[in-house]
Structure 1
Amino acid sequence: MRPGVGASTGWLAGGLGALVGAALFGVSAGAADITAADIVRHLLSLAAPSVESPLTERQVALLVELRLPRVVMGAVVGALLATAGGAYQGVFRNPLADPYLLGAAAGAGLGATLVLVFGQQVSDAPRALVPVAAFVGALVGVALAYALGATAGGGGTASLVLAGVAVSSFLSAAQTLVQQLGADQLQRIFSWLLGGLGRGGWDDVRLVAPYTVVALAVLLVCGHLLDMLALGDDKAVSLGLNPTVVRAVVIAAASLATAAAVAVSGLIGFVGIVVPHIVRRLVGSNYRAILPVTVLFGGAFMVLVDIVARTVVAPAELPLGVVTAFLGAPFFLLILRSTRHRTS
């Protein structure tokens, strides 16, 4: 039984509340003593001059220049990766489809690494080329995985996952080769690959903002088209839909979302499989509900993961990819097991 419209609207409100709560927690977590209540009072003081802000100028600068852009970037990256995962699962009708498993993240990583290593030789602004190169790499990775899975294993769940693993391994090997060719950039590349949000500040937010708006807008608009695709190609054609065009548009938008996230945060796995599956359990199988709720819960999830990464071993910091792997790998095994039981 699918939840109704009211239930989906309720989960949208719940996702928004989770995102706001995670953001308040994120900007207040850290060595400096700034509480969520202090932040709320400071925001009120901006709107109502009669309310006195409890924050000093130093605390405001810390909040605006360091913590806030990191939280915003966490919400953006989480929303991009989670929504891309949900879209891939819808377009391939495969519960295990994910940017990391389909080769999209590895392809995006290879494209970005090429720019980081060789970009100075072809452009005065290599940083701006990273999302473009990552997008091309993500498209190549997904196309290779899908083609290999369709030709070698019939396009089933297991064959697509195995093809994605093979393509990811190949692209990762190519990435390692590129890293060795750019040994002088090795430390910078490794730091980026392990995943993190605390590097670029507002510059990174501005860099990925246009890609984020385009990718998420296209994916959200395509939600009802994914519902039509779920009925089968013949039924979709009878309803006036061109399945080939829809798949191309959704794959391109999901790959753009993956590329934008990888460009600023590095390789962060499992977000695109964990969050959409949880959301699907909450709202049902309607992608018009799944995708917008996934945007909100994906953002909240990544903000919370980043809090764990920067506080568990403080003053050191864990790579985000390590935290998501600890959380996501057992979850993936549970999904794989349940999928196998349903198909046996």
Structure 2
Amino acid sequence: MKAKLFAYGGGALMLLLLSVTLSLSFGSAQVPIGDVWRILFHAIPGIGDSIQPDWSPSDESIILKVRLSRVVLAILVGASLAIAGAGFQAVLRNPLADPYTLGVASGASVGAAFIILFGLQTFIGQWSIPVVAFTTGMTTLFIVYKLASTQGKSQLETLILSGVVVQAFLGAFVSFMVSLSGEVVNEILYWLMGSLSMRNWDYSLLLLPYLGVVVVILIGFSRSLNLLALGERQAAHLGVHVERTKLIVLVVSTLVTAAAVSVSGVIGFVGLVVPHLVRLIVGPDYRIIIPISTIVGGIYVLWADTIARIALSPREIPLGVVTAIIGAPFFAYLLNKHKHKSRG
């Protein structure tokens, strides 16, 4: 298992580094890849002293002050949604589950739309929308879990059904607020479609602790998730505390999803496509799926955001639109391939 993890993890990290370099060089102002590397190394204390800065100050400012913060945030958002998707698919034992299955995105959207509709975006500074979106997203999980619980236990079918019902209700509520929004309708819709524009390093620093904690927790539960794939009764006989495992994995997956949605808006298909693709490549072992999904999710959103920036430059496409355009056909292809494989 370790050899397989190192092989796939090493390849994924190399692809991530290449993607970061290429993404930093793309944009309205083209910066050569060689200059990108040297600018990055020059900014590292101790290493940078040996590099002669022969590039223009404007290129350095573009790389370090504009693009790098956005690239890092794209990686963190993608990693957060992908690892949350892996957690949801493991607990719900459904490859079609994603971080939005239990209505987290709709809950966060209600909070964000409410803040924008009533012009309260600055009541606690730039964090107004993220804080409220995060709070309403987590409140949604509590409501869904309460609806699905009977004597402290929750059935998978009931949990998913509760999520669908709550998501539909909150989605209707968001649509109602959009219909009332008037002059701010574009701002609400743009948040609902997701974007990483106008985000500074503070947003990455906000999201990083959540992602770090969730990665550690889910990797710690990876063996239990492997056993849970055999069925709840079998897992319980093998020593897994089923209800506790389900609750912890669902809570932390929702936690990191709400944190990601609160800083980027609603970005779909990442938590759906990435873990499913990783599972097809590396197999069903969650000790490998969880860390590799984290890296691949960062790569996926990074490239989607790069396309969003440069496709119609100087205009920018909403990030959620790009992930849906790429993710929906790709996932349809995976489903069709899996269907034919099952028939064979």
Query: Which TM-score band (shorter chain)?
Result: 0.7 to 0.9
Contact 1:116 1:130 in 2 (8 A): no
Percent identical across equivalent pairs?
36
Q: For structure 2, which runs of at least 5 residues remain unmatched after alignment?
A: 150-154
The one-letter code matched in structure 1 to 2:249 is V
Contact 1:103 1:141 in 2 (8 A): no
Q: 1:102 to 1:127 in 2, by over 3 A?
A: closer
Distance 1:227 1:303 in 2: 29
TM-score (norm 2): 0.85
- Following superposition, the deviation at residue 176 of structure 1 comes to 1.9
The one-letter code matched in structure 2 to 1:266 is G
Between stretches 280-289 and 103-112, larger displacement belongs to 103-112
* Aligned twin of 1:39: 36
Between stretches 66-75 and 231-240, larger displacement belongs to 231-240
1:7 counterpart = 2:9: no
Report the secondary structure of 2:212's partner residue.
Answer: helix
The size of the alignment, in residue pairs, is: 333
> Where do 1:49-64 residues align within 5 Å?
49-64=49-64
* Aligned twin of 2:273: 274
Instruction: Please give the per-residue CA displacement for 1:207-227, whole angstroms capped at 9, x wherever unaligned.
Output: 323323333332232222211
* Aligned twin of 1:100: 100
The one-letter code matched in structure 2 to 1:37 is G
Q: 1:138 to 1:28 in 2, by over 3 A?
A: farther
- Following superposition, the deviation at residue 328 of structure 1 comes to 1.6
Distance 1:339 1:155 in 2: 23
- Following superposition, the deviation at residue 65 of structure 1 comes to 1.6
Distance 2:322 2:262 in 1: 19
* Aligned twin of 1:129: 131
Distance 1:182 1:166 in 2: 25
1:82 counterpart = 2:82: yes
Distance 2:122 2:29 in 1: 42
Instruction: Please give the per-residue CA displacement for 1:114-167, whole angstroms capped at 9, x wherever unaligned.
Output: 3444583995342452353243255158648968xxxxx9829xx95x875554
Contact 2:104 2:138 in 1 (8 A): no
Structure 1 consecutive aligned stretches of length 4 or more whose deviation exceeds 6 Å: 144-147
Q: 1:324 to 1:121 in 2, by over 3 A?
A: closer
Instruction: Please give the per-residue CA displacement for 1:257-311, whole angstroms capped at 9, x wherever unaligned.
Output: 1111111111111111111111111211010110000000100111011111111
The one-letter code matched in structure 1 to 2:189 is F
* Aligned twin of 1:206: 205
Instruction: Please give the per-residue CA displacement for 1:20-71, whole angstroms capped at 9, x wherever unaligned.
Output: 1111111111121212210112234341423212332222222122100110
Q: 1:104 to 1:334 in 2, by over 3 A?
A: farther
Report the secondary structure of 1:124's partner residue.
Answer: strand
Distance 2:182 2:220 in 1: 43
Q: 1:129 to 1:181 in 2, by over 3 A?
A: farther
Contact 1:138 1:259 in 2 (8 A): no
The one-letter code matched in structure 2 to 1:132 is F
Distance 1:273 1:61 in 2: 36
Report the secondary structure of 2:5's partner residue.
Answer: helix
* Aligned twin of 1:150: none
Between stretches 222-231 and 86-95, larger displacement belongs to 222-231
Distance 2:102 2:32 in 1: 41
- Following superposition, the deviation at residue 338 of structure 1 comes to 5.8
Contact 2:270 2:327 in 1 (8 A): yes
Between stretches 312-321 and 165-174, larger displacement belongs to 165-174
Q: 1:210 to 1:123 in 2, by over 3 A?
A: farther
- Following superposition, the deviation at residue 193 of structure 1 comes to 1.4
Report the secondary structure of 1:49's partner residue.
Answer: helix
The one-letter code matched in structure 2 to 1:130 is V
Q: 1:273 to 1:154 in 2, by over 3 A?
A: closer
Distance 2:113 2:146 in 1: 19
Between stretches 214-223 and 269-278, larger displacement belongs to 214-223
